[in-house]
Amino acid sequence: MKKSTANIFIIFGVTGDLTNRKLFPALNDLIKSKNLPKNTIIYGCGRKNLKNNVFKNLNPKISSSAKYIKLNPLETNDFKKLRTKIDINKDNFKKINIVFYLSTPPSAYQFIIKNLISYNFNKENNGFSRIVIEKPFGEDQNSSKRLNKILKDGFKENQIYRIDHYLGKETVQNILVSRFSNLVFKALWNNNFISYVEITAAEKIGIERRGEYYESAGAIKDMFQNHLLELLCLTAMEEPKENSSESIRDEKIKVLQKIKSIDYKAHIIRGQYTRSENSKKTYKGYRDNEGVDKRSKTETFFACKLFIENERWKDIPFFIRTGKRLPTKVTEIVVNFKRNHNVFSDKNQNNVLIFRIQPDEGLLVKFNLKKPGDKTELLNKNLEFHYKKLGKDIISNAYETLILDVFNGNTMLFSRSDFVEKAWEIVDPIVKSIKTKNSKLYAYKAGSWGPRKADDIFRNENTWRYPCKNLVEDGETCEL
C-alpha cells in the first residue's frame, strides 16, 4: 500500500560550506525536536563525482535514505534525470511535496531555476513545490529584478522563499512583539522621545575561506543590504494591520521607501582590517587572505548615518555599523531616548533600551532612581532580561525555524521580491559613489572596533555603545 506523502528536500550545492555549517545542523535539530515532517527524503546535488560520503554529518535517521545526484546546473539533461529519480517515488507515495534549496554560488541560480521550470518542477499538481534561495539575491537592483523575473516566470510568490537568516532568529522575531505589545515602548516610539538609534552587527571572525566571494561583496552587500536593512525596518516600521506575512511585509517596505538619500561624504565610513598581533594571537590582514587582491579596496567595516523621512522619525538619526574582525561577536539594536528635564536632578541620564539579538540574547533598559541617603543624586541602573533564564537551548537555530516554515508554507520570515529590489535601490548609489568618487577606505587593526573615523558621524554629540559579550557590560575595556 502506498504511504500518504513524501517530503523531498533537494539541496543544490550539497558539498558547499553552507550546507555543512547551517543546513545539516538545522535538519538534525529538526529531527531532535521531532519537527521534521514524516517521510522526509534528502537529495543532495553537486557537480562532482562523489568520493566521500557527503551526508556523514547528517543524522543517520535521514542520512540512510539520502541520495547524492551528480548534476551540473547548465546541463538540461541532468534535470531530466532528476525528474526521473523524483518520479520513482510515485510508486510508494500518494502525494509528493518538494522543496528545492539553492545553496550554490549565485551565478548558478538562473540556470537551476530555468531548468526546474522546463521540467515542470514548479507545478503543484499533487503536492507542493517550493523554492528557497540563499542570499545574495542578485548583485544590484537590475540583477535582482532579472532573477525575480526568471523565478516568477514559473513560480508564484507564495512558492518562493528568499532567505535572510536574521529573520529566523528568535530575538529578531521578538522586536515587533516587544515593540507593539508593551505600551511603555509603543507610546514612546517616535521623535518626541527617541534621540537616536544604533544598530550594530559586529563579528569577531574574519572572512574565513570566502575571499573570492567577499571581494565582490564587501560589508555593504554582505550585511547591510540584507540583514541590517531588515533590522532597521523592524525597528522603524508602523504597526502592521494584522499579524500576517503580507501586512508585515507591507509595512517593512514603507520604511525602505522613506529612507532619505544618504550623504555619501559625511555619513559613510568604510574600513578594512589590517594585520595585528597581541601576546596571545596574530591575526592576518584582510589582504593576506586567499582570493583577495593584495591592493584590495573592499570594505570589511561599514558604518553609516541615515534618516527616515516620515512623521515618526523626522530628524532622528539611525547609526548602523557592521564589521569583520571586531573585538567580539555581537548584534544589537540600541534605542537612545532623549534626556528629560525634571525637578529632581539635572544629572539624570537618558533611558536606553537594548534589543540584544546575539549572544546573551535579551533586553535591557537603563533607568534612573534616587540614590539612597541622598536628596539630589541619582543612580542609573539596569533592568534586564536574559533568554537563557527561560531554559537551556530555548533559542532555536534560525535555519531550523526557517526550514520548518518552508515545509509549513509560512512566508512571513522571508523577503518579498519588492523588499529585495528596494534594498538594492538604497545600496546601488552607495556602491556607485564609492567607485566613482574614489571614497576613502580607512585601515583598522584586526581586533579593534573599526576605524576611529566611525565616531565622526556622530559629530561629537554622542558615540557608539561599545558592547561586550554580556548584555549588561559595555565599554572599550570590558572583558570580550
**CB 136, CB 168: distance < 8 Å:** no
Q: Quickly tell me which residue has 530555548 as its cell.
A: 394
Kindly state the smallest distance separating residue 222's Cβ from ligand BG6, in Å. 5
Kindly state the smallest distance separating residue 92's Cβ from ligand BG6, in Å. 37
Pattern 321-340, ligand BG6, x by CB under 6 A: ----------x---------
* Residue 29 is a binding residue for ligand BG6 (CB under 6 A): no
Q: Quickly tell me which residue has 529612507 as its cell.
A: 259
- Region at 429 (left for phi over 0; alpha for psi -120 to 50; beta for the rest): alpha
Kindly state the smallest distance separating residue 203's Cβ from ligand BG6, in Å. 5
Task: Compare residues 203 and 361 and give the one whose CB is closer to ligand BG6.
Answer: 203
**CB 395, CB 170: distance < 8 Å:** yes
Task: Compare residues 135 and 422 and give the one whose CB is closer to ligand BG6.
Answer: 135
Kindly state the smallest distance separating residue 331's Cβ from ligand BG6, in Å. 6
**CB 467, CB 331: distance < 8 Å:** no
Task: Compare residues 153 and 208 and give the one whose CB is closer to ligand BG6.
Answer: 208
Q: In what order do the strands lie in the sheet with 318-323?
A: 378-386, 362-370, 352-358, 330-337, 194-202, 318-323, 301-306, 268-274, 442-445
What are the start-end ranges of the E strands in 139-264?
160-162, 194-202
Separation of alpha carbons 315 and 389, rounded Å = 38
386 is an active site residue: no
User: Which residues ranging from 378 to 417 are in contact with ligand BG6 (CB under 6 A)?
Assistant: none
* Residue 222 is a binding residue for ligand BG6 (CB under 6 A): yes
Task: Compare residues 332 and 421 and give the one whose CB is closer to ligand BG6.
Answer: 332
- SS3 of residue 221 by DSSP: helix
Task: List CB contacts of 284: < 8 A, sequence separation 6 or more.
Answer: 206, 275, 446
**CB 221, CB 431: distance < 8 Å:** yes
Separation of alpha carbons 177 and 171, rounded Å = 10
The correct pick among 198, 203, 405, 474 for binding ligand BG6 (CB under 6 A) is 203
Kindly state the smallest distance separating residue 294's Cβ from ligand BG6, in Å. 21
The residue of the chain with the least Cβ separation from ligand BG6 equals 222
Task: Compare residues 196 and 399 and give the one whose CB is closer to ligand BG6.
Answer: 399
Separation of alpha carbons 88 and 357, rounded Å = 44
Q: How many residues bind ligand BG6 (CB under 6 A)?
A: 4
* Residue 360 is a binding residue for ligand BG6 (CB under 6 A): no
Q: DSSP letter at 238?
A: P
Kindly state the smallest distance separating residue 98's Cβ from ligand BG6, in Å. 25
Pattern 30-49, ligand BG6, x by CB under 6 A: --------------------
Residue from 165, 227, 267, 341 carrying the catalytic annotation: 227
Beta-sheet pairing, 268-274 with 442-445:
parallel
Q: DSSP letter at 347?
A: -
User: Which residues ranging from 103 to 142 are in contact with ligand BG6 (CB under 6 A)?
Assistant: 135
- Which residues in this chain contact ligand BG6 in the complex, by CB under 6 A? 135, 203, 222, 331
Residues with catalytic function: 227
